[in-house]
Amino acid sequence: MNSNIPQSTSAEITGTLQLARQRIKKRKALDRLLFLSGLGALAIAVSVLIILIGSLVATGHSAFIQTYITLDLDISERYVKREDPFKGQYRNIINEALLQQFPGVTERSAQRQLFSLPSPAAQYMLRDHIASNPKLIGNTIRFAIPVSDPYDQLNKGLVLRETEEQNRRLKQQQINWFDTLDHRGLISNKFNWNLLTNPDSRFPEVAGLAGAIMGSLYTLLICFAVSFPVGIGAAIHLELFAPKNRFTDLIEININNLAAVPSIVFGLLALAVFLNSFGMPRSTPLVGGLTLALMTLPTIIIATRSALKSVPTSIHDAALALGASRQQAVFHHILPAAMPGILTGAIIGMAQALGETAPLLLIGMNAFLAAVPNTPIDASTTLPTQIFLWADSPERGFISRTCAAILVLLGLLVSMNAIAIFLRQKLEKQH
């Protein structure tokens, strides 16, 4: 048959086949290039993430370990009265225990250097322990107290021994005292539960995140209580009930624009409205939650509307055909089917609110507070603002604690996203 095809036609067919092969080869090359580009982008993203997490862990892991010194403390009635243990002279008790370890230290200047070994907060820890156990008064107890930040840094290798003495935070004699106590088995490393259970402090060795964590929980609770029902209600009305006219179009445009507004603008709005106009208490989770609710509302409305649009219209029409009212069709059929997407958007919005700092700074939630808030109207900080405060501190011990606080914040964010994924999968299986 090929012999019957004219030579010119055969050449045209051959040329067309070669051109087609070249095009197919080019498309395959472009497909491989696209695949490799995506793989390279993914590798870069993962590498940057690993570098970020790695740097935080490398710097912040030491904050989860605290250096302690164990001393035999004579709780003498000379210093602590049984009728009022809160007014005892606990610093003198600790100082006497140190002098028992180094009886040769008699000069006043040397004693001051020796007495700087325990944390300044150690006396308050001992006071609380004795006040809760008054039967210990008159006895000698073995008690572990945290060392001050320079010695903690020394034990963790952050204060280099080979540095010249005039450029080092600790004198050689102070290092010798620490080494002597270490050889006697009185220095120990323990997990730093204070980082999670203590409020903020001026002393990095006892500073903790308890106040910031509780403040964040109160703030998120108020944010969720306001933004979740209001956001879902607004989305349902706009998507399923409101007429399509210029007014609703204007509202939709404004909602989309508000989702892109910088968060600090919401802080300025809260400062002007909640604090100046309404006179609400400053630096409280109540105002912080309302501020973050304003910022989160557009995100929840947009996510809810997208989830409602994803529900097939046949479900709504079938419910109406079977005699259900419009409200029944929405709340009994459409809303349950859209709930996985709604919850996912809401939790992602809450996670975004948890990481916000700028609007909270403007309403005063960046003050130093050495107490854990008990109610949403108590002055408080949040995790992002606490990180901001610690990062701005000149104390070297707060460097590692800043990174540790970031890791705690990332852990909460990952947990919230994991909850969103779990709820979405569970609700999708039910429907």
Q: Which residues contact 364 (CB under 8 A, 6 or more apart)?
A: 282, 283
DSSP 118: B
**Residue 184 and residue 242 share a domain:** no
Last residue of a domain, one of 123, 156, 191: 191
AA letter at 174:
Q
Q: How many H helices and E strands in the chain? A: 17, 3
* pLDDT per position as a tens digit, 121-138: 999 999 999 999 999 998
**Residue 238 and residue 369 share a domain:** yes
DSSP 280: P
Answer whether residue 319 is part of any domain: yes
Q: In what order do the strands lie in the sheet with 140-146?
A: 140-146, 65-74, 187-191
Span 110-125, average pLDDT = 93
Answer whether residue 205 is part of any domain: no
Reduced to 3 states (helix: H, G, I; strand: E, B; else coil), residue 412 is helix
Span 255-276, average pLDDT = 89
Predicted confidence (pLDDT) at residue 9 exceeds the cutoff of 80: no
AA letter at 262:
P
Boundaries of domain holding 172: 69-191
**Residue 253 and residue 175 share a domain:** no
Span 317-338, average pLDDT = 85
**Residue 334 and residue 297 share a domain:** yes
Answer whether residue 59 is part of any domain: no
Last residue of a domain, one of 146, 164, 191: 191
* pLDDT per position as a tens digit, 340-389: 888 888 888 888 888 888 899 888 888 888 889 999 999 999 999 999 99
**Residue 268 and residue 353 share a domain:** yes
291/298 Cα distance (integer angstroms) = 13
Answer whether residue 55 is part of any domain: no
pLDDT at residue number 429: 64
Last residue of a domain, one of 162, 191, 220: 191
* pLDDT per position as a tens digit, 27-42: 888 899 999 999 999 9
Answer whether residue 63 is part of any domain: no
Answer whether residue 36 is part of any domain: no
**Residue 230 and residue 364 share a domain:** yes
CATH number at residue 306: 1.10.3720.10
The DSSP H or E segment spanning 67 is strand 65-74
167/152 Cα distance (integer angstroms) = 17
* pLDDT per position as a tens digit, 165-183: 888 889 999 999 999 999 9
* Burial class of residue 325, CB neighbours in 10 A (0-12, 13-18, 19+): exposed
Reduced to 3 states (helix: H, G, I; strand: E, B; else coil), residue 143 is strand
Domains: count for the chain: 2
